[in-house]
Chains A and B, each alone.
Chain A
């Protein structure tokens, strides 16, 4: 029984996922209230890239604006956030040696929620529309620092301590968020909507911000991919194989948390992607992080992009993306999980 893995086909899988991602971006950019064909979207994008306005001949004047200024920023943000959350999920599961870990295990989401709630409650607006994201980001970072301080003794951190500290801090902050909602009066709806996540009216600035964090973070994660593999042998073995386990753990935790914080601050709290995608891809590529990381990033981008397109262009009314990912992702994951178990039991 040589399992569910694709083994030699893994490089092909990544290529296929990459092509799929590009295709879905183009298709999705044509979907919505105004229908724009695949070819027309390609023409608009190409004319923008090459600066050749002849390609736009015969197109409605509104189309380029709709595609370039309205839809693409939103589509790209959702793809980048999907990639970021999935990457962070792989790293958290790998470092905490716990399949239940996800990007929010250390309380990053609770911290971001608390930060955002405060900004919304007091109507802070010194940075116009970027005030809430900034507060969310600061909340996430403060939480990360608190969790790291609580969980380390003698400059050592263990995964159990990290998870425990994360749960405690998240519980405190969730109570804080509940309290803010309780006293928020008319702002409560805004807070709830923010918490459920959305990619509505994202701009190129959002794309750029998440892109910087996610791509820098991804490079750092790829750099340590093999160390992360060896660390699944346990600390003592990894250390005797020449890995500075404590240093690598802290670097990767901070990196994955920064990726998560940047994603959460632009999109709100989107669950399930960071938990499901790493598992899904591990079935296909195996646990080797050199291939698991890029494959998960691509799959996460595709899935969140599809989910966002469904809520934006397919459903009659937009429902919060966080709700949708859990509604689709949950049962889907149960299905995959059962199937995988059965194959291993009877295969």
Chain B
């Protein structure tokens, strides 16, 4: 197995103003793997992804991409290597879906040139792959949230880069399209074409698609490793402060996480009382 390093983060720190967000992170990302980053809101996932995408620069420490400091790459060169699907996908002007996908080819098209036949082919292929060709001439401003996100995803795919960074890239899609899009992503990882780093909220989705998991909390990496080693009840409790049970699910063929909510735990022991409470509640409304 090819073990080329794609990213090396060495003692990276970042803060907004004087609010520290990332604290002395060190991390290695290996080629052709699907990495999942999980952690509670505000733990620094997005900032870390931004740093790797070259959108921000670390105030301390270094990030190397393929052995060379990220700072030494030109913006256009970087855009041919790393694509990002952002969390927010608000597009202000009524571009058509096709026009948006063509923007994914921006780094390849000379400033005053027009798209090459190859660009056109890639855009067409991507739209078919992502099942968006049926609304390719619709205004992107008129699509639903999930459709828009599929367009934004396809835009990043059309960028045709060896690295794909997903920041909650499927959060608004329905389950069919989430699976579809992640399956496409996964197979391009398996075939050795892509390395994927994805911030995810759904631990079960992460369990099904990721090879490696990185647990983050308060700007630090708490645990990282192969999914079978780190997706444990212990880590979930440490990072998310919730009780969970992790077991192997033969239907999905992956680890599965189930949670116990406090409400239900209480409900199990005091089911008799709840009816009365409901009645009381209704009376007080009258």
Contact = CB atoms under 8 A, between A and B. Distances in A.
A35 interface: no
Give the interface size class of chain A: 20 to 34
A236 B79 CA distance: 12
A241 B95 contact: no
Interface in A243-293: 243-244, 282, 286-288
Nearest to B99: A288
A232 interface: yes
B109 to A, nearest CB: 8
Contact of A244 (B75, B86, B107): B75
Nearest to A239: B55
Contacts of B78: 242
Contact of B104 (A99, A239, A241, A288): A241
A226 B95 contact: no
A3 interface: yes
Contacts of A244: 75
A47 to B, nearest CB: 38
Nearest to B108: A242
Given A97-B92, A242-B79, A236 B50 contact: yes
Interface of A: 2-3, 94, 97-99, 154, 223, 226, 229-230, 232-237, 239-244, 282, 286-288, 344
B103 A236 contact: no
B83 A240 contact: yes
B93 A226 contact: no
16 contacts: A3-B139, A97-B92, A230-B106, A232-B92, A233-B103, A234-B86, A236-B86, A237-B155, A239-B55, A240-B53, A240-B55, A240-B82, A240-B84, A240-B156, A241-B106, A243-B75
B93 A241 contact: no
A97 B92 CA distance: 6
Nearest to A289: B93
| Chain A interface SS verdict (over half) | loop
Contacts of A288: 95, 99
B147 to A, nearest CB: 16
Contacts of A229: 95, 99, 103
B111 interface: yes
A275 to B, nearest CB: 15
Given A239-B55, A242-B76, A233 B83 contact: no
Given A241-B79, A287-B94, A234 B88 contact: yes
B84 A236 contact: yes
B93 A240 contact: no
B123 interface: no
Given A241-B106, A287-B95, A288-B99, 14 more contacts: A3-B139, A99-B92, A226-B109, A232-B95, A233-B91, A234-B91, A236-B84, A239-B54, A240-B86, A240-B165, A242-B78, A242-B107, A282-B94, A287-B94
B100 interface: yes
B12 interface: no
Contacts of B77: 242
A242 B106 contact: yes
B137 interface: yes
Contacts of B95: 229, 232, 286-288
A151 to B, nearest CB: 16
B104 A236 contact: no
B103 A241 contact: yes
B152 interface: yes
B176 to A, nearest CB: 25
A233 B148 CA distance: 11
Contacts of B142: 344
B247 interface: no
